[in-house]
Amino acid sequence: MSGPSTYVPKSALGRWFESRLPIGGLIHSSFVVYPTPKNLNYFWAFGGILSLMLVAQIITGVVLAMHYTPEATMAFSSVENIMRNVNYGWLLRYLHANGASMFFFAVYVHIFRGMFYGSYKAPREVLWILGVIIFLLMMATAFMGYVLPWGQMSFWGATVITNLFSALPGIGEPIVTWLWGGYSVDNPTLNRFFALHYLLPFMIVGVVILHVWALHVTGQNNPAGVEVKSVERDTVPFTPYATIKDAFAMVVFLILYSWFVFYVPNYLGDADNYIVANPLVTPAHIVPEWYFLPFYAILRSIPSKLGGVIAMFGSIAILAFLPWLDTSKIRSGRFRPLFQIFFFGFVIAAMGLGYLGSKPPEGAYVIAGRLLSVYYFAYFLVILPLLGLFETPRTLPATIADDVLAKGGSAILAGAAQAPSTKG
């Protein structure tokens, strides 16, 4: 699907340039003639949405950085200065803070999409692992960004999370001191977090380029999970088909984003972060941002500190092994009746863990957290390996074109399949 481009620019200047640096051909082959399966549904729009959010975070972030002061005694008031005195500063800051949440919302949909339709399976393992790396970088970026406004939750969140490393035997304490640049979270910590918060998004851009490159080598998966057999019959060119569909999805996503930014900008934030950081006063509940809560719940479900840390990082790392843990030959969950039940169970378990992460670790919450954590890991380590061996899948469509014709099953999910079959 990739390879030397047949693109010939119209203008003489364009041809001159193209024979020296074929960037037009790269864009043409990647975003114009690139063949996309014609049965894609709107879950496939989230890749584009994620790119949009990455760009939005970088633009708002760079402008915020022009007004922000990464110094412990001034950070909090510099953010307030942005909110009150910088022209449209409140807009920038609310766009950036809520943008992080939207970014994570989109990445979770994107990941669950991949898990349901088996997008991680051969030949897309490298593509999938690059995605897991992006997810990790995003988490690091957001964690450090949240420290920058230097409110109570910034400070105490940073203290709790960096302290996790102290669980490592022997080297733990020195590592924490090294991370902090001192003996507690303080100005040096804030400074390095700001430097890294500025750097990591650009590393994400780099990995995203690799991710898209890998995608354009293997081609997209699709709701039927059968590979493209005939470019003619099974695919449509990226432009105009995917472009217009993605554009529509992006604008709908922007409506959701704007709702939060303009109407409930502080709903997703913690009230304690409007109190300036104070090392002498510990907040009653130290709770991370919502997008970290499932992992936080797993951390707290394990009675030992080191065990909890291993489980938490393991719960993310395990995603990278998914291509080899799922033994089923069938890609799409649409044709795996048992898998569907366990998969939705997994989605519920992840959301349940998210809820429990926001609750104090006591009584019934702990028991529920442990049960759901067990299910979380069992899904990867027991259910998926065994399911592939015992499950009888439904019959697959022979081709993507057949899938579109047999509207039935895809009608629920597939936007592409709604098209009437009258000849144009």
Which of the residues 202 through 261 are near other proteins (CB under 8 A)?
A: 232-233, 236, 240-241, 244-245, 247-248, 251-252, 254-255, 258-261
Closer residue to ligand HEM (CB): 35 or 145? 145
Query: By CB under 8 A, is residue 121 in contact with other proteins?
Result: no
Q: Where do we find the tokens 């510990």?
A: 282
- Span from 144-152, 173-181, 313-321, 334-342 in contact with ligand HEM (CB under 6 A): 144-152
- Span from 3-11, 59-67, 293-301, 402-410 in contact with ligand HEM (CB under 6 A): 59-67
- Cα separations in angstroms, 184 against 82, 140, 179, 194, 216: 27, 19, 10, 17, 46
User: Looking at 16, 55, 337, 381, which residue binds other proteins (CB under 8 A)?
Assistant: 337
Closer residue to ligand HEM (CB): 234 or 289? 289
Token pair belonging to 49 = 């949405």
Q: Per-residue contact track with other proteins, 383 to 402, x per CB under 8 A?
A: -----------x------xx
- Cα separations in angstroms, 39 against 117, 120, 228, 330, 410: 13, 18, 11, 17, 8
Token pair belonging to 201 = 């998004």
Closer residue to ligand HEM (CB): 63 or 224? 63
Q: What radius of gyration, in Å, describes the C-alpha atoms of the chain?
A: 24
Are the beta carbons of 224 and 332 closer than 8 angstroms?
yes
* From other proteins, ligand HEM, none, interface partner of 306 (C-beta below 5 to 8 A by class): none
Are the beta carbons of 47 and 411 closer than 8 angstroms?
no
User: Looking at 43, 46, 52, 93, which residue binds ligand HEM (CB under 6 A)?
Assistant: 93
The size of the interface with ligand HEM (CB under 6 A), counted in residues, is 26
- Cα separations in angstroms, 347 against 118, 161, 201, 366: 15, 25, 28, 19
- Span from 87-95, 105-113, 137-145, 310-318 in contact with other proteins (CB under 8 A): 87-95
Closer residue to other proteins (CB): 6 or 422? 422
How far apart CA 182 and CA 131 sit, in angstroms, is: 34
* From ligand HEM, other proteins, none, interface partner of 93 (C-beta below 5 to 8 A by class): ligand HEM
How far apart CA 326 and CA 388 sit, in angstroms, is: 7
E strands, 232-293, are 235-237
* From other proteins, ligand HEM, none, interface partner of 394 (C-beta below 5 to 8 A by class): other proteins
How far apart CA 153 and CA 287 sit, in angstroms, is: 8
Q: Which residues touch 412 (CB under 8 Å, ≥6 apart)?
A: none
Query: By CB under 8 A, is residue 419 in contact with other proteins?
Result: yes
Query: By CB under 6 A, is residue 58 in contact with ligand HEM?
Result: yes
**Dihedral pair phi/psi, residue 110, rounded to 5°:** -60, -45
Closer residue to ligand HEM (CB): 201 or 369? 201
Please tell me whether residue 84 adopts helix, strand or coil conformation. helix
Query: By CB under 6 A, is residue 100 in contact with ligand HEM?
Result: yes
Query: By CB under 8 A, is residue 262 in contact with other proteins?
Result: yes
How far apart CA 373 and CA 95 sit, in angstroms, is: 33
Query: By CB under 6 A, is residue 197 in contact with ligand HEM?
Result: yes
Residues that bind ligand HEM (CB under 6 A): 54, 57-58, 61-62, 64-65, 68, 79, 93, 96-97, 100, 103, 138, 141-142, 145-146, 148-149, 197-198, 201, 204, 269
